[in-house]
Amino acid sequence: MELKNSVVLITGASCGIGEATARAVVQAGARAVLLARRQDRLDDLALELGNDVLALPCDVTNSVEVQKAVEIAQEKYGRIDVLINNAGQGLYATIEEIGIDDFRGLLNLNTVAPLMMMQAVIPLMRKQGAGCIVNVSSGATLATYPGVAAYTSSKSALNMISKVARLELADAGITVSLIHPFMTATEFYGSVKSGLSTAQAQEVGATSIAHPPSLVAQMIINLIRTGDEETDLVPREYGGSFEG
């Protein structure tokens, strides 16, 4: 899909990968719809990026807010060409220590919310005869690590949803793609649902190998343009294919 003049909806757009992706799509000539809970950050980013940016505070786990945001975007631009499901959160805990309420909340954000977003935009894309959905998963799903069962299972479920959706929507001209970032220099580690000390220790250890979010954003741009099924930024020694 060509990005110039397309309408791109990005969740989790107020920081990290989402913010970097917003900058990248606007630079490529797209009109961006930015969704996140932190309105002050969204407004600042929209002001910086220019007139063709729509900032909508939205809790993507709330179906009413999701539907309203999609309706507002459609009313303003007449279409939605691309959905980037980026909003998500981590959780570090052993199997014995995973809080069930925390896990339910994680699944709601990392798995159910992307599905709701897809269901909200797919009817529009069907009418258009074309569309692109990029789901941001995790490189941690490509291998097995202790302490991340809750997080990786939520993202692994998203992987399967994406792969099945790609098959189901192909005849409608809608591509569904997955990206697996590796350790990325964002606020992710400081905003985990539980296991903050473990996350911060991992962040310190990853400083020398962490990717900038702008690199992930560029890979997302490439997926939109090519329609490829999947890509990753995970080095081969960690189970991926990246050789950057």
Strands laid side by side in the 131-136 sheet: 53-57, 31-36, 7-11, 82-85, 131-136, 174-180, 230-232
151 given a catalytic annotation: yes
Catalytic residue (choose from 77, 92, 145, 151): 151
Closest CA to 195 of 78, 84, 89, 91: 91
Task: Show which residues are catalytic.
Answer: 151
